Amino acid sequence: MSNYPHPIIAREGWPYLAVLLALSLAATAFCALWSIPLWGATLFVLQFFRDPPRHIPEQPNAVVSAADGRVIVVGKTHDPYLQREALKISVFMNVFNVHSNRAPVGGLVKQRWYFPGTFLNASVDKASLENERNALWIRTRDGYDVTCVQIAGLIARRILCYVDQGAGLYKGQRYGFIRFGSRVDIYLPLTAKPKVSLGDKVSASSTILAEL
């Protein structure tokens, strides 16, 4: 299955691209040499806000990655949102990854939490509880509870989430965006079987993180 309801360049990046493109063109007309840094910035923003189509596995019990990046945590821990022991899988996004966030499972959003916080490097463990973050509690049709947490990073200062309590999500659905480097934590039931290891590179919607 494939899913792509949005343009190739994420809509969150349009204002940045419009301003940089206008400045680059103006600088080019005035002095081509001076325009080089602006064109460089334009290309960086263009690649940052790319949002390519992705294949979504049809396997019913699959938990897919909510973000592009590298797996930095796989293990048992305490889920601070649902107050339970859980399997935690974390994906770190650097500034060169796609930053569009996708639903790891399909289901009903039972609750949403937003916490203002600091902007530590998102790759460190304490960022999970100290950085600015937005968490969704999703209950699947089979009754599994999954917590999906967007976490701002050292450079990322803006979390965008387009769903709230009561919304229905399908697996792989685009539901948010984090600007300029960040992290996503997934908390799963302890019965879930991880399918990734530390250091693995993953793709949002396409890579299976675990099986419920």
For residues 25 and 114, membership in a common domain is answered with: no
- At 66 the three-state DSSP class reads coil
- Please name every residue paired with 208 in a beta bridge, in sequence order, or none if there are none: 64
For residues 73 and 36, membership in a common domain is answered with: no
> In the numeric block, which tokens belong to residue 146?
């999954």
Q: How many domains, in total, are found in the chain?
A: 2
Active site residues: 182
Q: Cα angle at 52 between 67 and 60, to 5 degrees? A: 55
Q: What pLDDT shows up at residue 2?
A: 46
Q: What is the pLDDT of residues 63-120, one digit of tens each?
A: 999 999 999 999 999 999 999 999 999 999 887 888 889 999 999 999 999 988 666 6
In a domain, 70, yes or no: yes
Please say if the pLDDT value at position 20 is more than 60: yes
| Distance in angstroms (rounded) separating the CA atoms of residues 64 and 102 | 8
Closest CA to 182 of 76, 118, 93: 93
Q: What pLDDT shows up at residue 211?
A: 97
In a domain, 2, yes or no: no
For residues 162 and 196, membership in a common domain is answered with: yes
Q: What is the pLDDT of residues 127-140, one digit of tens each?
A: 677 778 899 999 99
In a domain, 133, yes or no: yes
For residues 65 and 158, membership in a common domain is answered with: yes
In a domain, 38, yes or no: yes
In a domain, 4, yes or no: no
For residues 31 and 76, membership in a common domain is answered with: no
- What's the pTM? 0.84
In a domain, 166, yes or no: yes
Determine the residue type at 85: E
In a domain, 207, yes or no: yes
For residues 18 and 106, membership in a common domain is answered with: no
Q: What pLDDT shows up at residue 180?
A: 65
User: Where residue 52 falls among pLDDT bands split at 50, 70, 90?
Assistant: confident
Q: Are 154 and 84 in contact (CB under 8 A)?
A: no
> What is the CATH number for 167?
2.70.70.10
| Distance in angstroms (rounded) separating the CA atoms of residues 192 and 210 | 6
Determine the residue type at 163: V
Q: Tell me which residue range forms the domain holding 31.
A: 11-48
Question: Pick the residue with more confidence: 144 or 128?
Answer: 144
In a domain, 3, yes or no: no
For residues 162 and 102, membership in a common domain is answered with: yes
